[in-house]
Amino acid sequence: MAHIIVVGNEKGGAGKSTVSMHLATALARLGHKVGALDLDLRQRSFGRYVENRRIFCRQQGLELPTPDYRELPEIDRADLPAGLNPTDARINRVMETLQSEKDFVLIDCPGSHTRASRVAHSMADTLVTPLNDSFIDFDLLARRDGQTGQITGPSIYSEMVWSARQLRAQAGLKPIDWIVLRNRMGTQHMHNKRKVGEALEDLSRRIGFRVAPGFSERVIFRELFPNGLTLLDLRDTGAENLTMSNIAARQEVRELLQALNLPGVVPRL
């Protein structure tokens, strides 16, 4: 059975699609069979990222390692057994195929609380939550008293992860390995970065996630999307002279793979 990686965050703008594409492509480059789903049926940023890649490769005559992206199948509600939710049925149908064919399946979730997102989280072997490095996004995980800095309660998203963990335990499945990525970290405001880091480390012990470095804020990530490329593809597309920023960003991809500690993955990139 495939190892399922879910990239989830209920706030937009944290770089979920960028993380999803770089993870899926990195695993494909390492020789793994990778399936991919985008459950944000409205925005479809991850899905369009993969489509852009296929178009670019076709136009340039290139064969770049690419995840096997699948759309959710349409289902006739009249054919559904009584009591089965259509969203559950669509996800289950495509996952039955991908889980038997692939080594990894990466699922990018919408930036909102939806049934599809809840179903995906309950399937996760590894959950990756990109988080902008600020207390604005910290609120995604927990409520915090602004005066004392004390945690006053879990967020709706953390409660959803807790529910997903309970469902997996009841089904006899292994626990979710939850990783929170400190994404889009800048070079300024060091005092605020330290305070966010301390709060995340404290919270990680309370609700059970690991903290890992994500991707820094770089213009290159926005420039790669139209052609469906990742930082790992630049040499294959004729970019011989990589800037120091590009080299540093490639290293961030390697470090992310190492931090996830996925089964059977040796990050030789």
> Model confidence over 81-90: pLDDT tens digits?
877 888 999 9
Is there a domain that residue 87 lies in? no
Number of structural domains (the chain) is 1
For the segment 107-132, what is each residue's pLDDT rounded down to a tens digit?
999 988 899 999 999 999 999 999 98
- Domain contains 81: no
Burial group, residue 223, by CB count within 10 angstroms (0-12, 13-18, 19+)? exposed
pLDDT at 15: 87
The reported pLDDT for the residue numbered 199 is 86
Would 11 be classed as within a structural domain? yes
**Is residue 89 in a domain?**
no
pTM of the model: 0.92
The encoded tokens of residue 235 equal 């040499």
The list of the chain residues with pLDDT below 50 reads none
Q: Any idea what the CATH number is for the domain that residue 38 is in?
A: 3.40.50.300
Q: What gap in Å lies between CA 229 and CA 223, rounded to an integer? A: 9
Give the domain extent around 144.
3-69+104-260
What integer pLDDT is reported at residue 149 of this predicted model?
76
Q: Do the Cβ atoms of 182 and 133 come closer than 8 Å?
A: yes
pLDDT at 241: 66
Residue 218, classified by CB atoms within 10 Å of its CB into exposed (0-12), middle (13-18) or buried (19+), is middle
Per-residue confidence (pLDDT) for residue 188, from 0 to 100: 52
Residue 38 lies in a domain: yes
CA distances from residue 215 to 9, 61, 130 in whole angstroms, order as listed: 15, 30, 9
In a domain, 85, yes or no: no
pLDDT, the chain, mean: 89
CB 168 within 8 A of CB 174: yes
177 within domain boundaries = yes
Per-residue model confidence (pLDDT) at position 65: 96
Per-residue pLDDT at 151: 84
Confirm whether 79 is domain-assigned: no
